[in-house]
Amino acid sequence: MNGDPTDAQDIIPRVDKLARSVSNSWNSLSTSPSLAFHPPQLRRPSTVTKPLKPFETKNIKVLLLENVNKTGQDLLREQGYIVEALKTSLPEDQLIEKIRDVHVVGIRSKTRLTAKVLREARNLIVIGAFCIGTNQVDLEFAAENGITVFNSPFSNSRSVAELTIAEIIMLSRQAGDRSNELHNGTWNKVSAGCWEVRGKTLGIIGYGHIGSQLSVLAETMGMGVVYYDVLTMMAMGTARQLPSLEKVLAEADFITLHVPELPETKNMIGEKQFSQMKDGSYLINNSRGTVVDIPSLINASRSGKLAGAALDVYPNEPGGNGDYFNNDLNTWTTDLRSLKNIILTPHIGGSTEEAQSAIGAEVGHALVSYVNEGSTTGAVNMPEVSVRTTEPNLARVLFIHQNVPGVLRKVNTILADYNIERQKSESRGKVAYLMLEVSGAGEQEIATLYKELESVQACIRTRVLY
């Protein structure tokens, strides 16, 4: 939940209501006249590379926002899905209008899929976050309404680590300012306050995929590395994990942040933390804009406590390229832009050809395999379930339900007369996912089965593929 205290209280009735309407939309999709009956030869082939029925792929509507890479777009188009791809994110009112109609939505870090937006997304079954962070999606609300979310957990980690290395050197040499001056026609050759990075200490906050990769790169340049993480993480090379944020701030010449956006990481670096840093140290934030309190950073820069900073992310970011970065977005923007030795980049940490294409492939494949087969392998908010089919002519039941006692008994009663070939079930928090395959069921039986499963009280969403 995104901090809305009322969400938890009324979730069950709302889930039920939304479940009904969403299931109905799939029901109408799966029983529309042209799709109702498939002659045997058109039934699901023995390999799962082709989509399972009952839907026609050309009925699957996909909305991609924020310039999702072509590799990802092509994968979805190759399936025959109807894909609309926009280069920017959308303001909330326009997003709500668009999202009502689609089964699949693809976003990056900007688009906020809040409970308010998702409540309107009556047909939506899956979200692809074509990035690492998933803080922009209300994951819990999505799961409790049967909407699966996928991301790409490390395809752009190297790109972020490389940008961070570049920034460490650029800041240390004040190279951003020198470049700006020369762009403006001023020659200003200085060595005062410019340093080599060799022998300096890098402090990494959040030693996950990006932090640990960065650790290796920094050591190869002769830097010492200390880090802080809430978990005990294996040290790369000769890096040392320190027991507190404070200890890392006190020891490092450069601090770089690689934590997710969480309530605990909001304003993690503020007035107090700047005062704990060494005089003349540097701060890099390529994680999320909420992690640093910017007014405190502005004070630390003006007082000389900070020798420089690099920021790639901001609490409020423009919706698309060409949009202005000004005080309409964040009240302190003008002050920030006026500071010395502050590198400002427009959230490009993961923006390389390599990363975007790898993300497109990874998330694109995950979306296709969820839509066509129901597989939740790699999902960030759903229990992970997949089954591998070898025989043709099986019906696959996908049943997302509230994780409450007695549901499997009810489902098994409904299935009592079918031959169940395989069955898998997993739960995660309030939601459980059951996937099973039955043999020998004809069209009419499948339609009846679908209706009976849908009428189970705890059903959030069901699909039957055959």
Ligand X SMILES: O=C(O)C(=O)COP(=O)(O)O
Judged by the rule CB under 6 A, the positions of this chain that interact with ligand X are: 108-110, 131-133, 156, 347, 349-351
DSSP classification of residue 62? E
User: Shortest Cβ distance from residue 177 to ligand X (Å)?
Assistant: 26
Q: Considering only 27-35, 167-175, 253-261, 387-395, which stretch makes contact with ligand NAI by CB under 6 A?
A: 253-261
Q: Which stretch binds ligand NAI (CB under 6 A): 142-150, 156-164, 398-406, 457-465?
A: 156-164
Positions in 421-450 near ligand NAI (CB under 6 A): none
Q: Please, what is the angle between helix 443-454 and helix 407-414, to 10°?
A: 160
Contact 207, 227 (CB under 8 A): yes
Nearer to ligand X, 11 or 210 (CB): 210
Q: Could you give the CA distance from residue 277 to residue 93 in angstroms, rounded to a whole number? A: 43
**Facing residues of 123 across strands?**
none
**Binding of ligand NAI at residue 253 (CB under 6 A)?**
no
How many whole angstroms separate alpha carbon 138 and alpha carbon 125?
14
User: Which residue, 239 or 446, is less far from ligand NAI as judged by CB?
Assistant: 239
> Which residue number has the CB closest to ligand NAI?
208
The yes-or-no answer on residue 347 being catalytic is yes
Provide, rounded to whole angstroms, the least separation between the CB of residue 318 and ligand NAI: 15
Q: Backbone phi, then psi, for 76, in 5-degree steps?
A: -75, -40
Q: Looking at residues 301 to 320 of the shown chain, list those that interact with ligand NAI (rule: CB under 6 A).
A: 312-313
Active site residue 317: yes
Which range in 35-43, 45-53, 262-270, 369-377 contacts ligand NAI by CB under 6 A?
A: 262-270
Alpha helices in 203-244 (DSSP H): 209-220
> Which residue in 79, 111, 148, 157 binds ligand NAI (CB under 6 A)?
157
345 DSSP 8-state letter:
-
286 binds ligand NAI (CB under 6 A): yes
Task: Please give the Cα distance from 183 to 194 (Å, whole number).
Answer: 20
Length of the chain: 466
Q: Does 362 bind ligand NAI (CB under 6 A)?
A: no
* Burial zone of 345 (CB within 10 Å; 0-12 exposed, 13-18 middle, 19+ buried): middle
Distance CA 134, CA 162 (A): 22
Cα Rg of the chain (Å, integer) = 25
Binding positions for ligand NAI, rule: CB under 6 A: 132-133, 154, 156-157, 160, 205-211, 228-231, 233, 258-262, 264-265, 286-288, 312-313, 347, 349-350
Catalytic residue positions?
Answer: 288, 317, 347
